[in-house]
Chains A and B, each alone.
Chain A
């Protein structure tokens, strides 16, 4: 595999290789000197058509910790806002000698287009494309860091094994993903990856926020959060961000009011108490405290939300390493 575009492309072995590599990368991040010389002389371009400070900083940190040169390219205030096409932007980046392009785009499929169009070169000088979120489609590194966090907390502990669950999949673990599944690339990426890793997933959302065709996804669905928490006893609860402004009131609203959403689908004090003792609370951030998650849940000892951010750097280091370090990615067996 030359690119990281979707969690659907990852086989079980590839997914575990990424997670294991991330575990080694994470180990280097507790050292005094965090920087490794691994990608010295390589250039990584962060191509962001959509604002996302935390994802960009995470990728930038990961690339810099591996000694790659980083160029940040934001569409705002660049020639893209003057009407330049994705193709011309790509040709420019290729001419400048980029080795990898991390792309965030509002259009689903834009990273795929970049990777397979030939605009970024092909054959002898392939440029790796990493999807950092495209439309409502995929956000593979987010799903990988979620899986990594779940494995660290739940696999090593439950099995009595040591080493943060290195080498293990997530077989038998139950994950509830709660909230705006309809617009969520995080949910899509997670369902596929968690399924590949052997976990069971239940999506919990109001009917209006479940996409058409969700019944074909490899997961269960529910409209009732209390029922899911009480009877299914998930090992991890992943809350999704609700975009307040487009969710309620006026035409095109998905639920009557934020208060009603919060009552039925928010993770609050009462629901927190319903969870089994080992269950972890996750959120991809940024959070709407008081809407999908209460401050108490966000700050509780079960919350691994801040750790997810740290793990994001390790997972992105692993992805960059696996895509860029090998000399001939076309022949390499790994990712």
Chain B
């Protein structure tokens, strides 16, 4: 059901070519998500449990990724909402789920972690379309405190690779007076739980992007004629598509498990599953989307064509909260040192 709703919204709000990104009604797409209840999945019910499971959130993320939908679902509805809920700031989380206001997260200079403030470093507000503010952390004696930073001052649009998501940059320093604490300090475990969900939904977005890109490329091989035959009849092209398909499906298998693990396994196992999924998805994201550009040939290299929009979104996703290199080091710590 969720899958169908996400696919329906993706169908009407996803671009067919890059110029659509200037004309799509993003606000309408956001309203549809809010009305379908999809912005509320990580708010908590009366018993304190998430309204929607990790699996449900990942299904939506994959659907919106497949449609290259230019709305900040991951930033506002998942990453920020979950952080607020874990900090016990339930009213703030509820407010986001209504869709009238948007909040995203602040990432550090290499996009690999939540920003810890105050600091004089460059930080980025990722997936910040329409967001008034962003969440970051401050380190305190009781653990990490979630803080809110207004994006009104000091932030400027960055020309990020991803054409479907807004990236804002601040070259710092962000002084302490601009930080408003939200909720209670987070336990170390809560923060790891957040990371498990965050890595999983980003992987799900990559899976959606890859599956849709491969499907587009395969469809093209059934229309495009060269040497008097459809290019899909060439074994070289078939094998390129098959390899890309295998990698996308492998990523989906790892991501599906991570999504289930978010709510079902203890935090260490959930995080290991999430890192495994992110490693796999990040590892193949570039190759799969490059393969798709290759299958489209000359037209696939042009700015006007949709192919690079997949690549751009996948490349950014690959970096956010750590690429495969970052994840592999963490996995090795668990496997080899038991940390």
Report whether chain A binds chain B.
Answer: no
Binding site for A on B (CB under 8 A): none
Binding site for B on A (CB under 8 A): none
